[in-house]
Amino acid sequence: MRFAYSLKQKTKIAVLLFCIMACTILIRLLEDRSIQDLNKSFVSLYNDRLIPATDLFYLSEHIHAKSVILRNADLNTDKIRHQVLLLHHNRAIDSLIVKYEKTYLVSQEKQHLATLKKSLLTNTQSEGQALRNLTELMQIQTQVGQELIKDSEFAVSGSKLYSTLQLILAIIIGILIVGILFTSSVVKISSEKFNLN
């Protein structure tokens, strides 16, 4: 009878320990996924926000320089140099736009970029309009960057939660081990006293 009771208790403990082990493995997998998401957010923040923001700055510099060259066209006596400078700035603008288009763009960015490209192609809008489009793109960069930071904070909070759950499970395992050791020593003591009688 005692053997059956002991076997039943050991089975319960084994099932409980198996469940705790499964939970620990699941938590570990979730934590790994959370860390991968965090890494993705940081890479995206760099590749899709920081670098393009710098490119937008350079784009505005080239647009401004091109505008200055066009305004001073009548004063410039060296027409070949004038054309070479315009060609240089146009190529730089085109390459920066192509590079910017390859990044992840939200719908607002796509709209403002299309407007900017139209204004640069038709040359009908002023430098001010082109720079306003660039300013809008830079503001969108900031907004999307803040959203990525929030996603990163969420991933970090998830990792903290998973770590806390692992700590709680480790404490439960420790309590179970102490409980098993305590009950086995109680059984030994009582069986020794039983043999003395």
pLDDT at site 88: 92
10 or 57: which leads in pLDDT: 57
pTM for this model (two decimals) = 0.57
Tens-digit pLDDT profile for residues 119-147: 777 664 566 677 777 778 878 887 887 88
Q: Which amino acid is at 52?
A: P
Nearest to 143, CA basis, from 181, 178, 105, 115: 105
Q: How far is CA 81 from CA 8, 42, 73, 84, in A?
A: 94, 44, 11, 5
pLDDT score of 6 more than 80: no
| Region 72-96 average pLDDT | 84
Its domain, for residue 84, covers 2-196
Number of domains in the chain: 1
Tens-digit pLDDT profile for residues 20-52: 878 888 888 888 888 888 778 777 777 777 788
Instruction: Please state, in angstroms and rounded to a whole number, the distance separating the CA atoms of residues 68 and 28.
Output: 59
176: CATH: 1.20.120
Instruction: Please state, in angstroms and rounded to a whole number, the distance separating the CA atoms of residues 50 and 63.
Output: 20
